Amino acid sequence: MQSKELLKKYNNPRNFLNRDLSWVEFNRRVLEEALNPHLPLLEKVKFLSIFSSNLDEFYMIRISGLKEQVAANVIEPTIDGLTPLQQLRKIEKEIQPMLRTARDLWHTEIVPSLKKYNIVIADINDLAAREQKLLNEYFKKEIYPVLTPLAFDPGRPFPYISNLSLSLAVLVRKPNGEKDFARVKVPSILPRLMQIDEVINPEKKTNSHISTKFIWLGDLIKNNLHLLFPGMEILEAHRFRITRDTDIELQEDEADDLLQVIEENIRQRRFGSVVRLEVESTMPEFMQETLTENLQITKDDVHVIEGPLGMSDIIALYDLPLHSLKEKPHYPVVPAVFEEEENIFNLIKQKDILLHHPYHSFSPVIDFIKAASRDPEVLTIKQTLYRVGANSPVVKCLIEAAEMGKQVAVLVELKARFDEENNIYWARELEKVGVHVVYGLVGLKTHAKMTLVVRKEADGVKRYVHLGTGNYNSVTAKIYTDLGLFTANEDICADVSDVFNYLTGYSSQKDFKKLFVAPINMKEKFLRLIGREIENVKAGAKGHVIFKLNSLVDPILIAALYEASNCGVKVDLIVRGICCLVPNVPGLSENIRVVSIVGRYLEHSRVYYFYNNGSEEIYLSSADLMPRNLYRRVEIAFPLEDESIKQYLIKTLLNISLKDNIKARILMPNGKYITPEVPEGTKKINAQEWLMNYSIKDNSKKIKQKL
Question: What are the catalytic residues?
Answer: 447
| Residues 518, 623 contacting (CB under 8 angstroms) | yes
d(CA 690, CA 333): 15
Of the candidates 328, 241, 303, the residue with the CA atom closest to the CA atom of residue 39? 328
Maximum Cα–Cα distance for the chain, whole Å?
Answer: 92
What Å distances lie between residue 415 and 6, 388, 477, 629, CA to CA? Answer: 33, 13, 21, 14
| Residues 327, 315 contacting (CB under 8 angstroms) | no
d(CA 446, CA 2): 27
| Residues 371, 402 contacting (CB under 8 angstroms) | no
**Residue 342 burial (CB count, 10 A):** 9
In this structure, the strands spanning 449-457 and 378-385 are antiparallel
Q: Which residues pair with 638 in a beta bridge?
A: 620
Q: Count H helices and E strands in the chain, helices first.
A: 23, 27
| Residues 575, 549 contacting (CB under 8 angstroms) | yes
Pure H helices in 72-224: 84-104, 111-116, 129-138, 196-200, 217-223
Q: Which residues pair with 238 in a beta bridge?
A: 169
Instruction: Assign 3-state DSSP to the chain and report helix, strand, coil percentages, each to 5.
Output: 45, 20, 35
| Residues 132, 122 contacting (CB under 8 angstroms) | no
Of the candidates 110, 91, 105, 104, the residue with the CA atom closest to the CA atom of residue 27? 91
Of the candidates 184, 217, 185, the residue with the CA atom closest to the CA atom of residue 198? 217
Q: How many residues does the chain have?
A: 707
d(CA 260, CA 54): 29
Sorted by sequence, the CB contacts under 8 Å of residue 157 that are 6+ apart come out as none
The DSSP result for 568-587, as a single string, is: T-EEEEEESS-B-B--S-TT
Q: Which residues pair with 410 in a beta bridge?
A: 383, 437
Sorted by sequence, the CB contacts under 8 Å of residue 184 that are 6+ apart come out as 147, 148, 149, 150, 167, 168, 170, 221, 225, 228
Q: Which long-range contacts (CB under 8 A, 24 or more apart) does 223-228 make?
A: 223/124, 223/132, 223/136, 223/139, 224/136, 224/139, 224/140, 224/143, 224/144, 225/168, 225/170, 225/184, 227/139, 227/140, 227/144, 228/144, 228/147, 228/149, 228/184
